[in-house]
Structure 1
């Protein structure tokens, strides 16, 4: 350090100070050296701070670019998957009927190796009718194929949570099922002209009076089915740590009956009615979870009522949604 500070001052300066003030010249020189060192360290520190700020700005830009590229990649993968799912099946190969031309098998007088076709006989009425029927059949198949393709396009365009019609509902009344002690019957307002009847298994220890007036999340595009004589028109979503520890999934407090529950990473309109043969609910249910913070999610994407918040379990964490 002394060598570096000595470089900052000319020897004549030290000699002049000692000549002017023999007693304090050495202390003044030390003070000047210390001050010069501090000034230099301050300049180095400011330069490093500027470099650090530049690095932070560049890191922010790089992170933003990475997020944009990641979003573009996921969008391309989603489109490629959708294109693969929506691609029409190749048309079946049809064997056309053999309309061979009769060939004279006798060798030509000149000894030519190629067979010489004879004049075809006039087509009979039966062969004409057969050809017309075959052409009509082929034309009919060509016309019917786009219809079947369009039906297949509308039947199963994708398999993710956006196919579920999840809505907020308010329980207007609740009672025990007349024929099953373990079941209960709710009348739920989901923002339609009339409430929906829902039959659900809430457990024998559930206090039904406390449920009345509460807001819940319902799956509304399941096929209506009769459970022990009562038709159920929707499914009440529950959080379940076990068969005995269950509670209803709760939407944000400011939600209103009829509000859609959506998923940021899975846009799209839900099915009008889930096809029972495809078992969409059964295939998606393993990915419907409540995380360690009590937030309901599908593959890490939260159940969201747009502009109002996320759906949660009242007290359970790390459990499934049924």
Structure 2
């Protein structure tokens, strides 16, 4: 702590003690304390002024940095625009020597002809032969132009949606099949033909929610057009049950996969066999959760899709 004796005049202190011997010491201490507080106040005010000065200087530096950054970005844009719109360098044509002009020396090189040589008789015969056979020159296909890029094969290509089964009936021509009218959030319900197995209680299906593959190509199964695929899990051909969306799901809700983002195909092409390639990895785990390679069937904000009672089985 700073010595207070340096802040007060000793002669003044002696005079006060002589004037008032009883209270002089307290008066001197009061003046010393007051002098110390005054000095600390002055130091604090100087520190505040220095801090304000530093803040002003920092503000000026930030402004200068922003101006320099803006100037650098403008220069980069101008350089890019100049490179894009500047005309390509023109090649000067080779000098054409006159036919009658003699060469300047024995070692002079011949002038490069500007026109291609006329096709030989053999080339003409080959082109005429191709025309007669109806052949054309092979052109690069789009697959070659894509630099070998192949479309992705993962579950994000499937358009899986929640649907409500409005009605269910047996297929008129197949006892092992059933026909459902399903609301998937569209203007009109879709007709779905499913093979649920002989032990399935069809009455339990009506009014329930299920998971449907909606971007399959419509096809006729025993005379009835099926416009979607009802996803089921099964342990055998005679025992199966449909996947159940999480509580709170509504018809039309999209089923997605956290690890496989992306938009589904507008319609799965049969020649690509996307469903056949993905199906071995569509399974129900030991907890009854439907998943693809360990990533659950999810309705965002509502939960995971499950099998009602089956575990460790396939999805078809």
TM-score tier (shorter) = 0.5 to 0.7
Q: 2:177: which partner in 1?
A: 183
Question: Within 1, Cα distance between the matches of 2:115 and 2:284?
Answer: 79
1:247 aligns with 2:241: yes
Runs of 4+ residues over 4 Å off in structure 1: 115-127, 144-150
Q: 1:225 aligns with which of 207, 210, 219?
A: 219
TM superposition shift of 1:118 = 11
Q: 1:157: which partner in 2?
A: 151
TM-score, normalised via structure 1 length:
0.55
Query: Equivalent residue of 1:277, what SS?
Result: helix
TM superposition shift of 1:117 = 9.9
Q: 1:261 aligns with which of 247, 255, 264?
A: 255
Question: Within 1, Cα distance between the matches of 2:256 and 2:275?
Answer: 16
Question: Within 2, Cα distance between the matches of 1:269 and 1:122?
Answer: 51
Q: 1:199: which partner in 2?
A: 193
Distance 1:262 1:145, change over 3 A: same
Query: Equivalent residue of 2:187, what SS?
Result: coil
TM superposition shift of 1:240 = 0.7
Q: 2:3: which partner in 1?
A: none
Question: Within 1, Cα distance between the matches of 2:151 and 2:157?
Answer: 9
Question: Within 2, Cα distance between the matches of 1:160 and 1:273?
Answer: 15
Q: 1:285: which partner in 2?
A: 279
State how 1:9-24 maps to structure 2 within 5 Å. Answer: none
Q: Which has the larger radius of gyration?
A: 2
TM superposition shift of 1:205 = 2.6
Report the count of equivalent residues: 200
Question: Within 2, Cα distance between the matches of 1:147 and 1:255?
Answer: 41
Distance 1:198 1:121, change over 3 A: closer
Query: Equivalent residue of 1:269, what SS?
Result: coil
Question: Within 1, Cα distance between the matches of 2:306 and 2:237?
Answer: 19
- Which whole-Å deviations, capped at 9, do the CAs of 1:119-155 have from their partners, x for residues lacking one? 999965999x97xx9xxx99x95xx7669747x97xx
Q: 1:16: which partner in 2?
A: none
TM superposition shift of 1:207 = 1.9
Distance 1:147 1:307, change over 3 A: same
Q: 2:292 aligns with which of 287, 291, 298?
A: 298
TM superposition shift of 1:250 = 0.5
The answer (yes or no) to whether the contact 2:257–2:295 under 8 Å persists in 1 is yes
CA RMSD between the two structures: 3.7
Question: Within 2, Cα distance between the matches of 1:191 and 1:307?
Answer: 18
Where structure 1 has 5 or more consecutive residues not aligned to the other structure, the ranges are 1-111
Q: 1:235: which partner in 2?
A: 229
